[in-house]
Structure 1
């Protein structure tokens, strides 16, 4: 018995001492606070994610989710370009989700036109009623697997937070409204802020940023319309070719590297109009806007909007956003519905940090000549993002910030160390007392 008491005392003392040393070590190993990517949630998995109604034909290459009614009476196919892993990541494998009614036919010139709604990859579901005599393939009635109110509260929080990020202003390359240049040199992140009236005042929009950089273009104002001047094309600098390349499905600068990490953010716009015929590179976040795709030309990326209309060749092409949107994980507080037409949270939209003006008005900073700027050159304003960025997660839509321990860094280490020493002393005292008792019993 005496031997077992002594052994137990030694074991207890050693365990307490070890615990005192291990706890501070765990504290120093906890992750420190750094840059994270906003999580776009379920919405980030869809190429067309609409809060209200969606009237669209003939197809969308990625997954489509509609919170309201979907009018696919002109015929609509979904998800042809989805990979198997992308389908598996969708809620229930649903590449098409309609929260309201699904309209499948219409009367044109007095004749009934029946549209086919078909999922090419994955399956589709509609929660309301099937209206019309059109056909369905891979689509059935059932409950929506998406909480659209929750997802759009998240998107509005993300959009409002991104709008607060300090951005450089684009630089007019010519005074006649011909070209507007977005030039950045940061390898990780380039942020620009521009008023919608300025952006729609130029016929050609040019972007020159390093390969692999996340590019965020915050567009302020209540509406944006590419038909105003009109905007005729979007060009991206190709570093291998050392020339600007017109973005389209079959070609893009550096194999689409810049396009994949390009986000157009419209935090306060209630209407966004793409000019028919334009191929618009990058993804568009316009959670409060009615989005008009026009009758031709794609968005080469995802669209997150309040409502959507489009027909003809006006499609959403499957080029998922893979950039890192800097910030913390999205706030739990959701903006009130009454605030949806303004910047979520009731804050005013940021003014451009530069003085680029619409053509024909005021002063503007113009690079010398119209020659294409070289990568990393001095043409244009160099962005100075305010958010600390320590590297991209590469996940974009699926990027989540780590939870870590309850404390990080040196805070809490000193108290734990002192506590550990006290426990260590107590353990030693137990061992000493046990040995002294053993000696007295022996005598």
Structure 2
């Protein structure tokens, strides 16, 4: 059986049914376990233990040399909703399964990488090479300029993939199907661990918050130590700041179950350390923090948090900003790793197993359930995809739905209608509310977006649904505003002119591009093609086409801004303005660019350059502000010989600006070369400039040899010099010795 299939079998419980050995589920075979302990009851689907094959025993403390000390194909992180990477979060060790979207958009200015599977610091027990490191049910999105690193592993995604991702990428619409059932099973288990027949599970110990710490004191004998906490683990005397976490009177090999009750909970702690000398670390593999109800969970502080985490509310949002999470992490909702609004740096998930003995939570009698659904249609009865709904359950005994306040109803799920226009959820009997939160594109929200419906036990088999019709938004009047660039002499269209489109927005006549209240920029720059045209589809208004670079060989116009007015009346035909440019006189000077590989000195194709002329009398190049220099050429791209050039240039000072690099290369630290002076004394009326680029990951240092290699070479050079000096000294003595 392949490593992937082994893990999938474990994840859905097949391993248990197949008679997996006790060691495979992390059972204690040492003989030290108390005789009174009940038979093992692991997490649903056999989650928790290391998948046998190459599991270290025991798991090592946190290491940072990046060298694996074993392999573990178990799921380390599970998210029933979405998984988001924000702030300065850096890595998630072990296998990561996400039923929803994976979205990476880190804080600007920091390390823009995020590792999954294999990491630089952690237990150093990653998944097997070639296994699934990241699995998603929907999209994988990595922001521009960032990288998701899954080297030696597989990223198996059910939806689209956008951005830079390493590893083996596999598009599989059914990627998360083997794990879909885990969400409900984990929710049921979380409730079972916290409650027995609707009442809190009997505790075996106490939890006392004294401000600087919360002390969990067990009974000293029970193999399952149960603590129920209905409060935040924070220091109330220090503005809910950090506090310690300590356990006492916990028998050897006992399992610790901490039920953290409440609708919103925060743990803010400095406890747990990198070294296993920290007392809290000793409980890591048999400690479970269970949040059965919380819709909002915040795990903050500066500690290396110890133990596994289970979050049972499928509508929950969890934010993790602790430097390290050491244990399994299973949430049926969504999780955000790192935060740009909370302190922290380089947050990490570390892969450690859970091997505890939990309460038996068998399936019990099957609950009565049925489908509650909503059908979204347009005014003609056609199904509408893209409507977003929340499903809420009536739980507070007040008439109607309450979504906010001290005692709101309970949010059950979120859903976006598909091609059939439907959202549906299997639930127990009760009163529910479908709440439309976003209408499909081009449609209005209903005046009352809340739709109640009641599911009864008698009607559960048939289910209950509601139909919601949306009205299309009035279509705005639009038309095209265009600029046509032509040769002033012959009227021929000109390619290569660069324009910006601005909309009159500040009530001041004419175009203002700077200051505290400029007009509104519309879209990106546009470069005229062979037909000499740039155009945009816009709503009625006053617009300005602003020429920022003339075609090669042409002078910029004296007035680079042209005004166009689009009205409801002329919108069907559109409005076009023509801007002529005058060709530069024949001759003139030239700037020639040669682009090379910094290491090999070979020419490089595909680098792009702009040319700017010194025009404002201020030293150096200014490309923005109230009085910039003049851009007179753009988009010059090097050919197979690494060359591109600008010609027909008047005397003056120029700057070459590199705007794009060949694939696999990085921009120079300073992409500006200049000033380059063209005058009567310039040989051949041409200034040649060479610009070198280094490959991504190459050393950007003056000496190719550095570090230990350079030190050894320097020592050898010193030894050679000493030998040479000794030889010269002997020759001198021999020459001075008197002959007999």
Flag whether TM exceeds 0.5 (same fold).
yes
1:132-153 CA distances to partner (integer Å, 9 max, x unpaired)?
3x23223322231444441011
Tell me which residue corresponds to 2:546: none
Q: Give 1:105 shift.
A: 2.0
* Equivalent of residue 191 in structure 1, options 223, 226, 244: 226
Q: Report matched runs for 1:298-337 at 5 Å.
A: 298-305=324-331, 306-311=333-338, 312-330=345-363, 333=366
Contact 2:150 2:165 in 1 (8 A): no
Give TM-score, length-normalised by structure 1.
0.56
Q: Report matched runs for 1:224-303 at 5 Å.
A: 224-226=265-267, 231-234=268-271, 247-253=272-278, 256-288=281-313, 289-294=316-321, 296-303=322-329
Structure with the higher strand share, 1 or 2: 2
Q: What is the CA–CA distance in structure 2 between the aligned matches of 1:205 and 1:137, rounded to whole Å?
A: 39
- Are 2:77 and 1:48 aligned? yes
* Equivalent of residue 126 in structure 1, options 134, 145, 157: 157
In 2 relative to 1, CA 146–253 (structure 1 residues): closer, same or farther, beyond 3 Å?
A: farther
1:369-417 CA distances to partner (integer Å, 9 max, x unpaired)?
xxxxxxxxxxxxxxxxxxxxxxxxxxxxxxxxxxxxxxxxxxxxxxxxx
Q: Which structure's CA Rg is the greater one?
A: 2
Q: What is the CA–CA distance in structure 2 between the aligned matches of 1:46 and 1:193, rounded to whole Å?
A: 27
Tell me which residue corresponds to 2:244: 204
Q: What is the CA–CA distance in structure 2 between the aligned matches of 1:310 and 1:160, rounded to whole Å?
A: 25
Q: Give 1:42 shift.
A: 6.5
Contact 1:191 1:217 in 2 (8 A): yes
Tell me which residue corresponds to 1:68: 100
Tell me which residue corresponds to 1:383: none
Farther off after superposition, 74-83 or 212-221: 74-83
In 2 relative to 1, CA 254–332 (structure 1 residues): closer, same or farther, beyond 3 Å?
A: farther
Q: What is the CA–CA distance in structure 2 between the aligned matches of 1:221 and 1:203, rounded to whole Å?
A: 19
How many residues in Structure 1 have an aligned counterpart in Structure 2?
Answer: 283
Farther off after superposition, 56-65 or 35-44: 35-44
- Are 2:246 and 1:213 aligned? no
Tell me which residue corresponds to 1:166: 202
Q: Report matched runs for 1:106-117 at 5 Å.
A: 106=144, 113=145, 115-117=146-148
Contact 2:159 2:171 in 1 (8 A): yes
- Are 2:134 and 1:96 aligned? yes
In 2 relative to 1, CA 119–284 (structure 1 residues): closer, same or farther, beyond 3 Å?
A: same
Q: What is the CA–CA distance in structure 2 between the aligned matches of 1:40 and 1:116, rounded to whole Å?
A: 33
Q: What is the CA–CA distance in structure 1 between the aligned matches of 2:363 and 2:139, rounded to whole Å?
A: 31
Contact 2:148 2:165 in 1 (8 A): yes
Contact 1:196 1:221 in 2 (8 A): yes
Q: Give 1:302 shift.
A: 1.6
Q: What is the CA–CA distance in structure 2 between the aligned matches of 1:199 and 1:157, rounded to whole Å?
A: 28
Contact 1:169 1:194 in 2 (8 A): no
Q: What is the CA–CA distance in structure 2 between the aligned matches of 1:329 and 1:150, rounded to whole Å?
A: 15
1:83-102 CA distances to partner (integer Å, 9 max, x unpaired)?
47x649xxx93221011110
1:118-174 CA distances to partner (integer Å, 9 max, x unpaired)?
324642211100123x23223322231444441011001110110023114534374
SS where residue 326 of structure 1 aligns? Answer: coil
In 2 relative to 1, CA 205–69 (structure 1 residues): closer, same or farther, beyond 3 Å?
A: same
Q: What is the CA–CA distance in structure 1 between the aligned matches of 2:269 and 2:337, rounded to whole Å?
A: 18
Q: Give 1:203 shift.
A: 2.1
Contact 2:212 2:235 in 1 (8 A): no
SS where residue 300 of structure 2 aligns? Answer: coil
Q: What is the CA–CA distance in structure 2 between the aligned matches of 1:154 and 1:332, rounded to whole Å?
A: 14
Contact 2:280 2:306 in 1 (8 A): no
In 2 relative to 1, CA 137–332 (structure 1 residues): closer, same or farther, beyond 3 Å?
A: farther
1:8-42 CA distances to partner (integer Å, 9 max, x unpaired)?
xxxxxxxxxxxxxxxxxxxxxxxxx9544044217
Q: What is the CA–CA distance in structure 1 between the aligned matches of 2:214 and 2:41, rounded to whole Å?
A: 29
Q: What is the CA–CA distance in structure 2 between the aligned matches of 1:163 and 1:292, rounded to whole Å?
A: 22
Q: What is the CA–CA distance in structure 2 between the aligned matches of 1:332 and 1:224, rounded to whole Å?
A: 31
Tell me which residue corresponds to 1:181: 215
Q: What is the CA–CA distance in structure 2 between the aligned matches of 1:194 and 1:50, rounded to whole Å?
A: 24
Tell me which residue corresponds to 1:152: 183
Q: Give 1:199 shift.
A: 6.1
In 2 relative to 1, CA 273–214 (structure 1 residues): closer, same or farther, beyond 3 Å?
A: same
1:184-236 CA distances to partner (integer Å, 9 max, x unpaired)?
2135221111112466747222112233110000111001123xxxx3323xx
SS where residue 162 of structure 1 aligns? Answer: helix
Q: What is the CA–CA distance in structure 2 between the aligned matches of 1:35 and 1:147, rounded to whole Å?
A: 27
Contact 1:160 1:345 in 2 (8 A): no
Q: What is the CA–CA distance in structure 2 between the aligned matches of 1:196 and 1:345, rounded to whole Å?
A: 29
Q: Give 1:287 shift.
A: 2.5
Tell me which residue corresponds to 2:168: 138
Q: Give 1:291 shift.
A: 1.1
SS where residue 149 of structure 2 aligns? Answer: strand
Give TM-score, length-normalised by structure 2.
0.35
Structure 2 segments unaligned to the other structure (5+ residues): 1-36, 49-73, 107-112, 196-200, 237-241, 339-344, 371-390, 394-409, 413-426, 430-740
Q: What is the CA–CA distance in structure 1 between the aligned matches of 2:142 and 2:366, rounded to whole Å?
A: 38
Q: What is the CA–CA distance in structure 2 between the aligned matches of 1:332 and 1:105, rounded to whole Å?
A: 47
In 2 relative to 1, CA 150–271 (structure 1 residues): closer, same or farther, beyond 3 Å?
A: same
Q: Give 1:329 shift.
A: 3.5
1:222-258 CA distances to partner (integer Å, 9 max, x unpaired)?
01123xxxx3323xxxxxxxxxxxx223325579441
Structure with the higher helix share, 1 or 2: 1
Contact 1:188 1:212 in 2 (8 A): yes
Q: What is the CA–CA distance in structure 2 between the aligned matches of 1:252 and 1:218, rounded to whole Å?
A: 26
Q: Give 1:307 shift.
A: 0.7
Q: Give 1:330 shift.
A: 4.4
- Are 2:95 and 1:59 aligned? no
In 2 relative to 1, CA 192–121 (structure 1 residues): closer, same or farther, beyond 3 Å?
A: farther
